[in-house]
Amino acid sequence: MKRVVITGLGAITPLGNSVDTFWKHLTEGKSGAKLITKFDPQNFKTKFACEVEDFDIEAYLPKKEARKMDDYTQLAVGAADACMQDCSFDENWDTSKVGVIWASGIGGIHTFEEELINFAKNPEQPRFNPFFITKMIPNMAAGQLSIRYGLRGVSYATVSACTSSNNAIADAFNFIRLGKAKAILTGGSEAPITRTAVGGFNASKALSTNNENYLTASRPFDQSRDGFVMGEGAGALMLEELEHAKARGAKIYAELTGCGCASDAYHITASHPEGVGAEQAMREALAEAEIKPEHVDYINAHATSTPVGDLSECKAISKLFSQSLDRVHVSATKSMTGHLLGAAGAIEAIACIKAIENSLIPPTINLENLDPEIDPNLQLTLNKAVSKEVQVALNNTFGFGGHIAVSVFKKYEE
């Protein structure tokens, strides 16, 4: 099997539109929550979200081209451009061996909403944007990125709700280590702060409605948590076969050594109450990476701030790491970024990689009263970043439908 390393990163997030800014604000414990500006939320149960600010697509694309893309694809372009620059992509790459596997849980929901509203206003004389379908479908970010950089290798999208971009990373990992690609641009993007998405998640009772305290509403592990805070953005990673990266003198951030995928097979929205699938996926990821639980330094928990989800994940961690709970740090970065749905796995993979690079574990903020059902021995890294050498980091993601994916990042060594 080939070894797989990360040689490029890019991010557009509620905490900043570069990896450095995102990481700075993440380690400072900054909340990305704010009142919704994308639409008037007055008649909605939830009136806040974690929005991306100051993102201008015309800095990347001519206005005419940008209008052919939904917001989620525009965010993908922003993150991917930064990643391609970071990994020093140029004309010397054999693009027949470079692919794109890009994720989105929802895809072009803004476009879908806009077109249906226009149709409903005049159903007798329907008029649709000629780019309606190509803007909406969730594979189009992958297609647009492939076209943009001339990447002629494998190209497709993964859609598995909030596990989507971690599944994309796992697929990219497998293509490269099996020798089917030299490098793959992977990650995910999501732009779900729309009336239909917020209204739909409100109807399913998944979103926090703590409008009076929106800055601290994303409070994983807290006894008073009442749902997740919607987020938007994109995260991009360049995964590369080690020898290919070394041959061109690439900077190597970390190595991806294992991935585990499983299903709770339990409920359409709720995690298994005992964390059965989560424990299985983490165990399989570590086995593939040939790493024992006691050698893990950091877990970026999925921890969305939902009552059932946080508790089940904590139970899984307590079981699998029962012999090393005193040394493995756990943090919930969604307490700051909100939940980026299909893009969450990519953004949190970047957080894991930066933790390895900087020997610094980002905090969990907003926790005031620990849920008494959560193991008090868990090192939840509260309120302040913790300096600690990180050799191994786990990235957990879970999605509606019971989908689970876990990736293992390790400090690169010759």
Q: Please identify every residue annotated as catalytic.
A: 162
Q: Are 157 and 397 in contact (CB under 8 A)?
A: no
Q: Are 210 and 353 in contact (CB under 8 A)?
A: no
One-letter amino acid of 226: D
Q: Are 260 and 169 in contact (CB under 8 A)?
A: no
How far is the C-alpha of 380 from the C-alpha of 360, rounded, in Å?
14
Q: To which H or E segment does residue 365 belong?
A: none
One-letter amino acid of 270: A
In which residue are the tokens 């030299």 written? 182
- For the four alpha carbons of 241, 242, 243 and 246, in that order, the dihedral sign comes to positive
How far is the C-alpha of 243 from the C-alpha of 68, rounded, in Å?
38
One-letter amino acid of 1: M
How far is the C-alpha of 144 from the C-alpha of 220, rounded, in Å?
35
Rounded to 5 degrees, what are φ and ψ at 326? -80, -10
Q: Count CB atoms within 10 A of the CB of residue 201.
A: 19
Strand order across the 298-300 sheet: 155-158, 98-103, 183-190, 233-241, 4-12, 254-263, 403-410, 392-399, 298-300, 329-331
Alpha-carbon distance values, 266 to 82, 188, 190, 304 (Å): 39, 26, 26, 18
DSSP symbols for 45-110:
S--EEB---S--GGGTS-HHHHTTS-HHHHHHHHHHHHHHHHTT--TTS-GGGEEEEEE-SS-SHH
Dig out the tokens for 284 from the structure.
């399989």
Alpha-carbon distance values, 77 to 18, 43, 133, 234, 383 (Å): 13, 33, 19, 9, 33
How far is the C-alpha of 83 from the C-alpha of 259, rounded, in Å?
22
